[in-house]
Structure 1
Amino acid sequence: MRPLSIEGLWEMTPQQHPDPRGRFMEWYRFDRLAEVVGHPLDLAQANLAVSALGVVRGIHFADVPPGQAKFVTCPAGAVLDVIVDMREGSPTFGHWEAVRLDGDTHRAVYISEGLGHGYCALTDSATVAYLCSSVYAPERERAVHPMDADLRIEWPVLGEPRLSERDRNAPTLKQLSQEGLLPEYDACRRFTDALDAAPGKGTRR
């Protein structure tokens, strides 16, 4: 795993073992993730979504605490996965990073609490699977409009993106900030530091 430009965001590409029958890989390792992140991902929910070409999902995040950390991969097809720093006070607040996830490399990203997540389908059908640290709780779920002019995310979509009603009507990052609905960087750090310090949770490198 390697860290990306936003604190709390890592990228991982599994080693694949092909043979005449097909191929095998460990696409998720509890222990190795914990060694890098500082604590294990407490798996509470696993999601799978299949999207058509041009579909954009997100940008979604959850209130912290407890937030929702995610380990995201694309087992079939391809997506451009986009992660946005929603944490007010962060050195990279409002910045975003994009990673191509696909069924060839099986690259994955680990997204810490307080970061927003979305993606765009690059193939006729794209499957995204993600492991989550907390269950879905509508009262804590937030969304930012994926076409927010201030974020200037470069979605690789020809024409109008295909959005859900929720995402089409989502507020901008500025609107959420004005309403006090964004996570605070210091609160996110305190939360993850507490996870690091819990007995048996591993040590940050």
Structure 2
Amino acid sequence: MKFHHTELPGALVITPEPIADERGSFFENLRTEALSEEIGRPFRPAQINYSVSRRNTLRGLHGVRNPPGQAKYVTCVRGALRDIMVDLRLGSPAYGKYVVTELTAAGGTALYIPEGFGHGFLSLTDDTCISYVLGTAHVPGTQIDINPLDPELNLPWGFDEFPLISAKDAAAPTLAEVRAQGLLLEYTD
């Protein structure tokens, strides 16, 4: 695996190094020891989730309050998606900035999304499946939802037709409203 640091402090894009032959290919998707060394602290999977979506489904923008906080290791296991992670940590030099990454099952690219970030994606194919390896288990009532179409963020989802979006995500507050509620994590080096 190769780790690529993004302009968002602590956020990584991880690309595999496939071994291919006439049968197909093989690659490591996650090695927790290597990831922990790269981020400078332990990453211990506490929960693994999968989400399956039809083409042009927009999910997000989601984060988790601290405590418990929640780092994510995200990869596409079927289909293709446009992933956006946003630094929502107050005081971060990259606050409000985002990284867009196309993830495909065939490519195997993964993302490490630190605590305090927002995350969402647009599915580009039918039956797209995304895997979330979570650093903490889900705690009901701690999720932060931000409207993925918030004009302040102006995220480049890249859809041609208005996407399928849940009523919860469509009615989610703006980043300014979430910030005013005091729900965002403070940035620390």
TM-score, reference length from structure 1 = 0.88
Q: What SS is found at the alignment partner of 2:33?
A: helix
Partner of 2:151: 149
Partner of 1:200: none
Q: Work out whether 1:59 is the aligned partner of 2:61.
A: yes
Within a 5 Å distance, the mapping from 1:108-123 to structure 2 comes to 108-123=110-125
Within a 5 Å distance, the mapping from 1:131-142 to structure 2 comes to 131-142=133-144
Moved over 4 A (4+): none
Within a 5 Å distance, the mapping from 1:165-204 to structure 2 comes to 165-186=167-188, 189=189
Displacement after TM superposition at 1:148 (Å): 0.3
Displacement after TM superposition at 1:84 (Å): 0.6
Displacement after TM superposition at 1:12 (Å): 0.6
* C-alpha distance in 2 between matches for 1:22 and 1:98: 28
Q: Deviations over 1:58-91 (max 9, x none)?
A: 1110112331000000021111110011111111
Q: Deviations over 1:91-125 (max 9, x none)?
A: 11111111111012110000110011111101122
Match of 2:87 among 85, 88, 97: 85
Pick the structure with more helix per residue.
Answer: 1
Q: What SS is found at the alignment partner of 1:185?
A: coil
* C-alpha distance in 1 between matches for 2:184 and 2:36: 26
* C-alpha distance in 2 between matches for 1:91 and 1:30: 27
Partner of 1:30: 32
Partner of 1:98: 100
2:25 counterpart letter in structure 1: R
* C-alpha distance in 2 between matches for 1:44 and 1:142: 19
Displacement after TM superposition at 1:20 (Å): 2.1
In structure 2, list runs of 5 or more residues that go unmatched. none
The question of whether the paired residues in 1 share the 8 Å contact of 2:70 and 2:136 is answered with: yes
Displacement after TM superposition at 1:145 (Å): 0.3
Match of 1:75 among 69, 77, 86: 77
* C-alpha distance in 2 between matches for 1:21 and 1:45: 32
Q: Work out whether 1:15 is the aligned partner of 2:17.
A: yes
Partner of 1:201: none
* C-alpha distance in 2 between matches for 1:139 and 1:124: 30
1:136 counterpart letter in structure 2: H
* C-alpha distance in 2 between matches for 1:125 and 1:4: 29
In structure 1, list runs of 5 or more residues that go unmatched. 190-205
Tell me how large the CA RMSD over aligned residues is. 1.1
Count of aligned pairs:
187
The question of whether the paired residues in 1 share the 8 Å contact of 2:87 and 2:98 is answered with: yes
The question of whether the paired residues in 1 share the 8 Å contact of 2:32 and 2:44 is answered with: no
Displacement after TM superposition at 1:31 (Å): 1.3
Match of 1:42 among 32, 36, 44: 44
